[in-house]
Amino acid sequence: MTYSDKEQTRTLHQIDEMDNMHVTTSEKPEKSEKLSMREHLCSWRGVTYFLLHFTFIAWCIPRSATSMAFVCANSRREGVLRMLNASASADSPDEEYGHLDLGENSSSRYNFSGAQLDTFRHVLADLNWSSDTQGLVLAAPLVLSFVGPVLSDLVTRRTGTRLMFSVVQLFNGAVMAASPSLARSSPYLLMAAHIVLGLTINLNFPIIATLLTRWTPLKQKLVVASLVYTGPTMGGVVTSLLNGYLCAVPVDNGWPFLFYTAAALHVLYALAWYVCIGEFPETHRFISRKEADYIVTRRASLSTEGQS
């Protein structure tokens, strides 16, 4: 064996040793770390998924509150008309149903006190709009809804998702709280407010997709996204059950409490979001290192996304 052959053999042995070292160190397969069901559920990742799911419920609340308010006001109006028609005096037996006279001097014609008649006048005037006007009010949130996703991207690049989303929810809560007063002033004021509300509500959807990408391990993304996007269905169930009880509140004709409750939920949701949500698992204030590493090492690459 020549000198060059010996050198070549020695070099091959060195390469083999380096490959073995590489396999035993840098390419050694990581031990599969499995989290228990309790760790999956009782985690900041789980809290994030729940709040994203609730985003869709919050999206359903304003739409259902407005439509249910019309139903509630109309139901109370029909009840008052039936009572007045039944108690009309014998002097006017041919009084047309639905067109009863409730002028200032009408107390002698009905078996009700003046205070009761004042209440009835208030009920009959509440949301007593034409079907065309009601349709315009219900359609108002859709007018600028397509602008929301575009603005969302522009705003979150400057403020981040956490701050922007919290401020938007507080604003939505303020609009919902003011809706009964606006409705009693003018249907067009309510219409204008709900046009803006439709824009701000639709700022949420790009944020949901962004946070799912940042917080979800790749192999769990389909399941988590499916659970999060069942929010509209759950929102329909929750709001239908809740609105039925609120409509029966025997104060202020009941229907304003649809909006007041929605406003309170938006405010609580904004506070929960600001406290519990983080832009990234790596920068979350309360998350454990174990959970953050679990997410970061298993999610899709974020190489093209700047951490704001």
Q: What is the pLDDT of residues 72-121, one digit of tens each?
A: 888 877 777 777 676 665 445 444 444 455 555 555 455 555 566 666 66
Q: Is the pLDDT of residue 272 over 80?
A: yes
Confidence at 30, pLDDT banded by 50, 70, 90: very low
Domains along the sequence of the chain with CATH? 45-87+108-296 (1.20.1250.20)
Q: Is the pLDDT of residue 172 over 90?
A: yes
What pLDDT score does 95 carry?
Answer: 47
What pLDDT score does 270 carry?
Answer: 93
Confidence at 25, pLDDT banded by 50, 70, 90: very low
Q: What amino acid occupies position 87? A: S
Q: Is the pLDDT of residue 16 over 70?
A: no
Total-model pTM: 0.76
Closest-CA residue to 60 (of 204, 174, 223):
204
Kindly calculate the radius of gyration of the chain based on its CA atoms and give it in whole angstroms: 31
Higher pLDDT, 63 or 170: 170
> Rounded mean pLDDT of 156-166?
86
| CA distance linking residue 284 with residue 294, whole number of Å | 14
Long-range contacts from 303-306, C-beta under 8 angstroms, 24+ separation? 305/213, 305/214
The CA-based dihedral angle spanning residues 223, 225, 226, 228, taken in that order and rounded to the nearest 10 degrees: 120
